[in-house]
Amino acid sequence: EADLESKLPLKGKKILITAGPTYEAIDPVRFIGNHSSGKMGFDIANQAANLGAEVILVSGPTHYKTKNSSIEVISVMSAQEMYDACHKYYDNVDAAIAAAAVADYKPKEVALQKIKKNANEFSIELEKTKDILSSLGAAKKSQFLIGFALETENEIENAKLKIQKKNLDLIVLNSLQDEGAGFKKATNKVTFIDKDFNIEPMELKSKEFVAVDILNKVISHFSKS
């Protein structure tokens, strides 16, 4: 009994995870998207379930699937849909991890018909999407809230600003400096920064092991509280 519990340190915990890109419609056949594969979020979800957690995985379009019965997958398309799904579950979770690459902007208007190539020049007006993670930070009660940050300059400073602006407990800074890290890769080089600005650079490793490192942070938080 005690042994089983030590192997399932997240038993009894509910964790909300976002994954993948979002697609923002331009017209019925086109969208603005990005190259996020969804792997990081799915790896975190699978590891969390292996550690005993009940997982709600809100994912944008991806080819990843999971058969784990402890993971409920909510498939969404746009940032607005991801926002709505997250807020539906957020009040009842113990932790949330935002691994999705949410589009920052969406077309201001969605054309009802396929846009024809009549004009020689064509532009689309964009407006900001809702910042899902910020809204979770604002609505936070006791949830342990983890975000990601992708920066190409002033990485640590910008990541610290995101912790404060979004009311996070921990941020996972993705280093693009490293050859092996990134969107289409199986590996990641991350630095953890907590809300007290403790900085912990990690080795380059597979996303599965980055997921383990992230969940160890969640486990140690719950063992303290």
Was 67 annotated as part of a binding site? Answer: no
Cα separation, 63 vs 143, in Å, equals 29
213 is a site residue for Ca ion (CB under 5 A): no
Smallest gap from Cβ 95 to ligand CTP, in A, equals 14
Beta strands in 13-169 (DSSP E): 14-19, 24-27, 30-32, 54-59, 71-75, 95-98, 105-107, 126-128, 144-151
Residue 206: strand pairing partners:
187
Number of Cβ atoms within 10 Å of the Cβ of 114: 10
- Active-site hit among 34, 68, 158, 167: 34
Residue nearest to Ca ion (CB): 104
Smallest gap from Cβ 37 to ligand CTP, in A, equals 14
Was 104 annotated as part of a binding site? Answer: yes
Smallest gap from Cβ 192 to ligand CTP, in A, equals 13
Cα separation, 63 vs 213, in Å, equals 24
104 is a site residue for Ca ion (CB under 5 A): yes
Q: Choose from Ca ion, ligand CTP, none: what does 132 bind? Cβ within 5-8 Å by kind.
A: ligand CTP
Number of Cβ atoms within 10 Å of the Cβ of 224: 6
Smallest gap from Cβ 101 to ligand CTP, in A, equals 7
Instruction: List residues near ligand CTP by CB under 6 A.
Output: 18, 79, 98, 100, 102, 104, 129-133, 147-150, 162
Helix, strand and coil in the chain, % to nearest 5: 30, 30, 45
Q: Tell me whether residue 9 or residue 192 sits nearer to ligand CTP (CB atom).
A: 192
User: For residue 69, what are its two tokens?
Assistant: 């019965």
Was 13 annotated as part of a binding site? Answer: no
64 contacts: CB under 8 Å, gap ≥ 6: 19, 20, 37, 38, 39, 42
Q: Choose from Ca ion, ligand CTP, none: what does 211 bind? Cβ within 5-8 Å by kind.
A: none
What is the distance in angstroms between the CA of the first residue and the CA of the last residue of the chain? Answer: 22
Q: Tell me whether residue 10 or residue 149 sits nearer to ligand CTP (CB atom).
A: 149
Residue 167 catalytic?
Answer: no
Q: Choose from ligand CTP, Ca ion, none: what does 98 bind? Cβ within 5-8 Å by kind.
A: ligand CTP
Alpha helices by DSSP H, listed for 76-154, are 79-90, 132-138
Residues catalogued as catalytic: 34
Q: Which residues are annotated as a binding site for CTP?
A: 104, 114, 148, 162, 166
